[in-house]
Structure 1
Amino acid sequence: MRNILAIVERELRAYFISPIAYVVLTAFLLLSGIVFQGILTQVMDYQMRSSLQSAQLGRATPIDGPAIISQQFLGTMSVLLLFMIPMVTMGLFAEEKRRGTIELLLTAPMTDLQVVLGKFFSAVAFFLILLMASWLPMSVLYLYGSPASGPIFSNYLGIVLYGFALVGIGLFVSTLTENQIISGILGFVIALAMWFFDLLAARAEQPTKAIMEYLSVISHLQDFMKGVIVTSNIIFYLSLTILTLFLTYRSIDSLRWRG
């Protein structure tokens, strides 16, 4: 555990020494603020029109404003994270290989698994910092109302598990090249492909349709966004994360043998 924490500390320090952390954080805060404002304006406009309809016709369609805002906001965040997380993970191993420090890392008194987990948890820590930043606009809902916490918890749980899987994909891809730009692009392309499986499944026939729907990272997020926690969706994200960590471990192990 001490070795893992040492790598986490080392990587987080590297993030905040380089401009990448500040670029990603600033872009994420700016975009999330713009998105939240747009969604909030739409929901408030709908509620105002609904109130006018109620006054004129004596009937209105009630909506759970905070739940809709949370669902749409975090749903949009899932798209932003497709771009942001590959930027966070692209240099984890690729930069080590480019600088020639990967040999020092692999010959250090720690196991390959500790190296992989240390890198993974450092990227997860930065991802969670991004997620906490998204709570800044969401806190408005609690300042001016008392939204139900259950659906919002479900939304955030889904995004956390989804983010873990994307970090795992990016981490594995980073072991395949020494160019972090290529690593970032490849990680984005793979995540985007798995994101679009759900759309492609609509044109496929069974059993291909069922397979593509299951492999889609976004289809398993939809229940969480509706405020429903389904065990099979949790298992999918955790299984994908574990699989990518295993592939990363095997890739690093092959580097040791080739070295």
Structure 2
Amino acid sequence: MGTYGCDVGKTERQAIMRNILTMTQRELGAYFLSPIAYAVATVYLFGTGLAFGLGTFRNGAESSLRSLFEFWMVLILVFVLPMLTMRLISEELRSGTIETLMTVPITETEVVLGKFLGAMVFYLFLLAALAPYPILIAMYGALDGKLLLCNGLGLLLLGALYIAVGLFFSACTKHQIVAVLLSFAVLALATFATQGLAQLVEGWPRALLQQVSVRTHFFDFVRGLVDLNHLVFFVSSIAFFLFLTVKRVEMRRWR
């Protein structure tokens, strides 16, 4: 009986992973066939290249890399990732395929995780496109490997959070423009406005604003510091928005 139970549990886990992987492959394939994804990649590459090039000309290569990660990369991601996520569920709602999707043996959680991972894989391709910049620095100067790893971890967590937020708003409306505007507004507020407002107040309001400021938590990764508090913030925030997205998709099943 125990062996049978273990076999059933293993089969269920394999089915879950297969469903998530299938959804991930589906979304990743859709990205490579989407002109919007190529437009996003073009804006991203142009923006990061321009920021690194101008920074190198003014301050030197090593300083330009820090400037790129500390400010410009954050700003660019606030703009481009909502465009990357806007169609993930909104398109399903607009076309009516979300109802068809809900009739196949796949759970809402598997749908959401598959779409999230599909966007994350595409985002990893975008991050990989930054590889020439540290290589150039290593060729002409000293490159701090630990700092680079911390930068990479920070960008991975930052992008994952932005994608989770964008995925949630994509599940809230069938209009992609509305989804991208809502995502942009929330990300801009959580990333820049909270940090700016924190400088204008004192006491517990300042501490609260700093605690919810995405950019504040991201800064230490740019400086080469990995703090448990920042890891908890990003992981819990990502999980929270994915949970909200699952609940939002579940509402569609019971309408």
* TM-score after normalising by structure 1: 0.88
Question: What does 1:141-156 correspond to in 2, within 5 Å?
Answer: 141-156=137-152
Cα distance, 1:197 vs structure 2: 0.6
Of 182, 185, 196, the match for 1:186: 182
Deviations 1:34-66 (A, max 9, x none): 11111111223xxxxxxxxxxxxxxxxxxxx63
Question: Which amino acid counterpart does residue 220 of structure 1 have in structure 2?
Answer: H
User: What is the match of residue 3 of structure 1?
Assistant: 19
Question: What does 1:1-259 correspond to in 2, within 5 Å?
Answer: 1-44=17-60, 66=62, 68-75=63-70, 76-195=72-191, 196-258=193-255
User: What is the match of residue 48 of structure 1?
Assistant: none
Structure 1 runs of 4+ with >6 Å offset: none
Is contact 2:134-2:143 (8 Å) kept? Answer: no
Question: Which amino acid counterpart does residue 17 of structure 1 have in structure 2?
Answer: L
Question: Which amino acid counterpart does residue 178 of structure 1 have in structure 2?
Answer: K
Q: Helix, strand or coil for the counterpart of 2:224?
A: coil
- RMSD value over aligned CA atoms? 1.2
Once residues 145 and 31 of structure 2 are traced to their aligned partners in structure 1, the CA distance between those partners, rounded to angstroms, is 33
User: What is the match of residue 7 of structure 2?
Assistant: none
Once residues 141 and 18 of structure 2 are traced to their aligned partners in structure 1, the CA distance between those partners, rounded to angstroms, is 44
Once residues 150 and 82 of structure 1 are traced to their aligned partners in structure 2, the CA distance between those partners, rounded to angstroms, is 26
Cα distance, 1:256 vs structure 2: 0.9
Which structure's CA Rg is the greater one?
1
Cα distance, 1:80 vs structure 2: 0.2
User: What is the match of residue 58 of structure 1?
Assistant: none
Cα distance, 1:32 vs structure 2: 1.1
Cα distance, 1:137 vs structure 2: 2.7
Is contact 2:65-2:133 (8 Å) kept? Answer: no
Is contact 1:123-1:167 (8 Å) kept? Answer: yes
Cα distance, 1:142 vs structure 2: 2.1
Once residues 51 and 82 of structure 2 are traced to their aligned partners in structure 1, the CA distance between those partners, rounded to angstroms, is 21
Greater fraction of residues in helix: 2
Q: Helix, strand or coil for the counterpart of 2:100?
A: helix
Gaps of 5+ in 2: 1-16
Once residues 142 and 7 of structure 1 are traced to their aligned partners in structure 2, the CA distance between those partners, rounded to angstroms, is 39
Question: Which amino acid counterpart does residue 66 of structure 2 have in structure 1?
Answer: Q
The count of aligned residue pairs is 237
Cα distance, 1:146 vs structure 2: 3.8
Deviations 1:148-179 (A, max 9, x none): 10111111211111111111100101111000
Once residues 155 and 71 of structure 1 are traced to their aligned partners in structure 2, the CA distance between those partners, rounded to angstroms, is 9
Cα distance, 1:99 vs structure 2: 0.4
Gaps of 5+ in 1: 45-64
Question: Which amino acid counterpart does residue 237 of structure 2 have in structure 1?
Answer: L
Once residues 11 and 243 of structure 1 are traced to their aligned partners in structure 2, the CA distance between those partners, rounded to angstroms, is 22
Q: Helix, strand or coil for the counterpart of 1:228?
A: coil
Q: Helix, strand or coil for the counterpart of 1:169?
A: helix
Once residues 197 and 228 of structure 1 are traced to their aligned partners in structure 2, the CA distance between those partners, rounded to angstroms, is 22
Cα distance, 1:202 vs structure 2: 1.6
* TM-score after normalising by structure 2: 0.89
Deviations 1:59-83 (A, max 9, x none): xxxxxx63x3332111211110000
Is contact 1:98-1:178 (8 Å) kept? Answer: yes
Q: Helix, strand or coil for the counterpart of 1:207?
A: helix
Once residues 229 and 39 of structure 1 are traced to their aligned partners in structure 2, the CA distance between those partners, rounded to angstroms, is 25
